[in-house]
Structures are given as structure tokens and as C-alpha cells.
Amino acid sequence: MNRIKFDYSQVCNFVKKEEISALFPQAAEALKTLKNGTSKGSDFLGWLDLPAAITETELNDIEKTAADLRKRTQVLVVIGIGGSYLGARAVIEALAGSFDNFGQSDMKVIFAGHNIGEDYYHELMTYLSDKEFGICVISKSGTTTEPAIAFRLMKEMLESKVGKAEAGKRIVAITDAKKGALRTLADQEGYKTFVIPDNVGGRFSVLTPVGLLPIAVAGFDIKALVKGAVDMRKECLENAQSVAIEYAAARTALYKKGFAIELLANFNPKLHYITEWWKQLYGESEGKENKGIFPAGVDFTTDLHSMGQYIQQGPRMMMETVISVEKTAHKVEIPFDEANLDKLNFLAGKRVDYVNKMAELGTRIAHVDGGVPNMLIQMPELTAEYIGQLFYFFELACGISGCMLGVNPFDQPGVEAYKNNMFALLDKPGYEEASKAIKSRI
């Protein structure tokens, strides 16, 4: 089959091709440390071989559980935060109909536990009040504040609605194999469980049950998704100058030239949550020790009418990576209009996608002319298999980039700062001294 392609020719006005190729050996060495387990954070390299390690039996079990949830419920509430929901949401939003979010089944998959919005939960509970719903709760510990609050609310509501016994059949827990509050509860209540591997961090977990179960419930082909990742893994681990190495080297070369912000841009609204997933992947992996490229996302052409001015003529510190989908799933032609008041008859008979592609090309040229280096990722189609390729490509390039930067790409110590302050302000037991200290600053 075809593979996604990467083109960095439009950065060569800003950094010489020789400067990029000079980084290939460093990128290859970074990849070597990932493969042999000597990189920083080597305890969390399970994602590297994950696609090839997933067995047919495991995938069948996930599909069987998804089928059972579809029989019992109309709506699945997926509870998780960060990597525990973004990967699944990215795939479902990319493959589902734009106006229904149902996918290939009659199930609706919705998300909770990724915020602490009281109105959000009131509206969610009101929406679920007349629905048959189930819960997929995702947490290694079971004590992360946002998903723990959501699960407490949803669990109580479900048990009140259908009784504890039936609720137990509608709740699936994806958690640690042996320890943690959620594992203890799942064992006590007899929930169906899947394991988050110890050596896979949340933002790299989309190809574990964390992502695969919600995607399967939505009716999409998880085996095709995994197959795409397997294909890209083979390409990138066996090719001395793979697209992952090229991407890592190109963005590193630009970073060394002072381009400290990377915009991931798309011209297909279905890719919005893939951008959100990418932002977490690169932000948590690289933003350490006062280093790292800041990951930002834009949806074109929409954001050309808001952020476009800044991108075109603002401070020259941005690079841009465009995801381009070559072939659409449907065909829509622009009609002829006799009055032609909108002056669009010059487009009559042309496909909407043709206009979109010309907007894409025109934007890339304009941004390069305006001082924004431009990289291009081409996807043949928006399918589960190509999304699987894209995920693995980004994950591997992220690991390589982080190692080249000299940071541990697989931890996130900075995330704890807000949590400690929040717990102190909430008077959580054990935070008494911190509570006094922080309240003295208010």
C-alpha cells in the first residue's frame, strides 16, 4: 500500500539542506538509543514495538467487548484526560460523519473527565438522563482528579438508573495491571478490564486499549489502524533515512535557527483532534529544561481569517507543518448560477476539494514568502490505516527529536506543579503545610 510522505523542500530558504542532512547521523543515533533502550526515559519505550506486539487475540477481545457495549447501550462515556482520551477522539472525529459522531455503528461516543466544568457535567447528566449509557473509565491510578470526579458522577448516575449489577456490566476499566484505586474497584465490582502497559506513557497509548476500545465501540476498524502503525514502524525502523528521521532533523535544524514555534496546520476539519493529540504529544515530550519547540495548531482555511494575519506578518519565529489529505471520500461540485451575484461562476463545475487544494497551495507559498518555513505531510486518504501510519510517524519522530534535544521525552514533571497548588487550596489531607503557604500568598 501507499505510505504517508514527508517533504521539507520548502524550508531550504531558511536552513540549508546540508544543515539538515548534517543532523541525520545525530537523529540516527537518537533512534538507535530508542531501539536499544539506552535513551533517557527508557522505562517508557513500550510504544516503540507496540503495534507489532499486539496479538490477534487481544484485538478480538477488544472488538468483542465493544460489540457487547453496543448491544447494551446507546452512548459510551469515555472518561480520561490527556492521552487517555485524545487519541481515541482524534480517530473517531476523523472517521465519523461531521454532524453525528456516530461512526459505523449506532453508538454515540462522548467524552468526560478532561475538564472540571460544572455546567459541562450538568449538561452531560441531563443528556444522559433518558439514554442507555455505559462507561469506559481510563486511568492508571484511578485518583487523577479530573477523571476521578467524572467517574464518581457517572458511576453514581448509572447505578441509580439501572442498578449495581447491570451497571457493572456496562462499565469497562482500562487501568494498571495490579495496583491503584481503579484496579481495586474494578476487581471488587467485577468490571471488565484492560491493562495500560507499565512501559507506555499516556500520550503514547493510542494503540493500546486506551484508544482501541472507544474506537472499536464507535465501529471503526482497529485492526486497520494497527496495521498502518505496523507498516510505518517497519519503514522507519529499517530505513536509515526514514520520514521520521527527516522530520526530526528538519524541525531540529529550524529550532537551532530560532524557529521556536511549530504550527501543525490542516485543510480538513476532520483533522482538528489529530492536531490536539499532536500538541500534547510534542508539548509534554519536549517542553523541559527551558527547551523545546512550542506546538500550536491551526485549522485552515478557517484560521486564515483569524490567525492568518499573525502567521503572515507577525514575529518570524514560526515554522509550519501542513497535513494534506490527497483524496477525499466524497465528491461535491460547485454549481453554475445564472445571476452570478457572488462572482463564482469561474468555479462552476469544479470540485470543492480542488478549490481547497488551491487554497492550501496558495497558503503554503504565501507563508514561505512571508518568512515561515513550511513542511508537508501527505496522506493518501483519511482512513484508519493511514491514521495508524501518521500516529506512529509522529510518535517515533517525537522520541527522536526529544533525544536530540537532550531531554527525557517520556516524563512530564512540570504537570505536577498545578496539581500540588490545587490540592493545597482544596485542603487535601497531607497538604496542610502547603495549604498554609499558598493561602498566605492570596
Q: What is the pLDDT of residue 1?
A: 63
Is residue 80's pLDDT more than 70? yes
pLDDT digits 0-9 by tens, 247-280: 999 999 999 999 999 999 999 999 999 999 999 9
pLDDT digits 0-9 by tens, 16-42: 999 999 999 999 999 999 999 999 989
pLDDT digits 0-9 by tens, 368-383: 999 999 999 999 999 9
> Is-catalytic flag, 122?
no
Q: What is the pLDDT of residue 265?
A: 97
User: Residues 289-293: what's their mean pLDDT?
Assistant: 95
Closest among 130, 260, 205, 146 to 391, alpha carbons compared: 205
| Interatomic CA distance for residues 238 and 409, integer angstroms | 22
**357 C-beta neighbours (distance < 10 Å), count:** 16
| Interatomic CA distance for residues 438 and 384, integer angstroms | 47
Catalytic residue among 276, 284, 360, 385: 284
> Is-catalytic flag, 178?
no
pLDDT band with cut points at 50, 70 and 90 for residue 104: low
User: Residues 418-441: what's their mean pLDDT?
Assistant: 78
Catalytic residue among 164, 179, 419, 436: 419
Is residue 85's pLDDT more than 80? yes
pLDDT band with cut points at 50, 70 and 90 for residue 403: very high
pLDDT band with cut points at 50, 70 and 90 for residue 341: very high
Q: What is the pLDDT of residue 101?
A: 55
> Is-catalytic flag, 284?
yes
For 309, what's the count of Cα atoms within 13 Å in the CB-facing half-sphere? 2
Catalytic residue among 305, 330, 331, 343: 305
Instruction: Work out the angle at residue 296's Cα, subtended by the Cα atoms of residues 415 and 86, and round it to the nearest 5 degrees.
Output: 60
Q: What is the pLDDT of residue 111?
A: 95
Is residue 84's pLDDT more than 90? no
User: Residues 166-190: what's their mean pLDDT?
Assistant: 95
Among 2-6, 67-71, 212-216, 431-435, which is the least confidently predicted range?
431-435
| Interatomic CA distance for residues 138 and 214, integer angstroms | 11
pLDDT band with cut points at 50, 70 and 90 for residue 435: confident
pLDDT digits 0-9 by tens, 205-220: 999 999 999 999 999 9
User: Residues 217-232: what's their mean pLDDT?
Assistant: 96
Closest among 279, 283, 314 to 299, alpha carbons compared: 279
User: Residues 136-159: what's their mean pLDDT?
Assistant: 94
Beta-bridge partner residues of 153: none
Mean pLDDT computed over every residue of the chain: 93
